[in-house]
């Protein structure tokens, strides 16, 4: 008996989506990162018109592996409204930043950014990007391996307490 995988388009009109996740708040919303620096919300089968977060002006997406690369919601997001993003800044470094949701659950407070970590990158490729909370409650961040031909510099994977 053959097994099949079926694909179904659930959203369109996105610009270079890099990740999809949920906030764990029971709302049923899905959050989609776009490489240029926007987080969009998919709700009820439609992409909302206003981005959840728009940080395009802070992001370098010129290199093929740069941009808004990661998103993780705090395990208690429903109670504290805290989430984290991983992006390439205008100087080419990777940044881990913390944000808060605004009083509107579909809109982040862009002014709440707190930069927690900046890691200079010697090359524009291999920026990593994955952010995730582990079962230990720690936030894990993949930084990539440093890039460049032959990967001459190895970068760490980081574990941070939330």
Provide the β-strand partners of residue 96. 86, 117
Candidates 78, 76, 72; CA nearest to 28 is 78
Write down the residue that tokens 């802070």 correspond to: 58
- Report how far residue 30's alpha carbon sits from residue 39's, in angstroms, rounded to the nearest whole number: 10
CA angle 133, 159, 21 (to 5 degrees): 25
Say what the pLDDT of residue 3 is: 87
Element counts in the chain: helices (H) and strands (E): 1, 12
Cα(78)–Cα(23) distance, rounded to whole angstroms?
Answer: 8
Which segments of the chain have a pLDDT < 70?
63-64, 122-127, 144-162
Query: pTM of the prediction?
Result: 0.85
**Is the CATH number 2.120.10.30 carried by domain 17-161?**
yes
- Report the run of H or E that residue 82 belongs to, with start and end: strand 82-88
Token digits for 96?
């881990």
103 burial (CB, 10 Å; 0-12 / 13-18 / 19+) is exposed
DSSP structure string for 31-54: EEEETTTEEEEEETTEE-SS-SEE
What residues does each domain of the chain span? 17-161
C-beta neighbour count of 49 within 10 angstroms: 7
What tokens appear for 162 in the block? 């939330």
65: which 2 tokens? 């592996």
């Amino acid at each position: 008996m053959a097994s099949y995988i079926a694909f179904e388009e659930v959203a369109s009109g996105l610009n270079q989506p890099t990740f999809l996740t949920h906030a764990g708040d029971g709302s049923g919303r899905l959050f989609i990162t776009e490489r240029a620096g926007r987080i969009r919300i998919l709700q009820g089968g439609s992409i909302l018109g206003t981005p959840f977060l728009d940080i395009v002006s802070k992001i370098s997406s010129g290199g093929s592996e740069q941009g808004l690369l990661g998103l993780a919601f705090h395990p208690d997001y429903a109670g504290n409204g805290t989430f984290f993003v991983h992006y390439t800044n205008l100087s080419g470094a990777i940044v881990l930043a913390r944000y808060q949701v605004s009083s509107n659950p579909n809109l982040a407070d862009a002014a709440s950014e707190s930069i927690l970590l900046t890691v200079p990158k010697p090359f524009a490729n291999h920026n990593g990007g994955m952010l995730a909370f582990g079962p230990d409650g720690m936030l894990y961040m993949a930084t990539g391996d440093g890039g460049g031909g032959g990967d001459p510099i190895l970068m760490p994977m980081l574990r941070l307490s939330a």
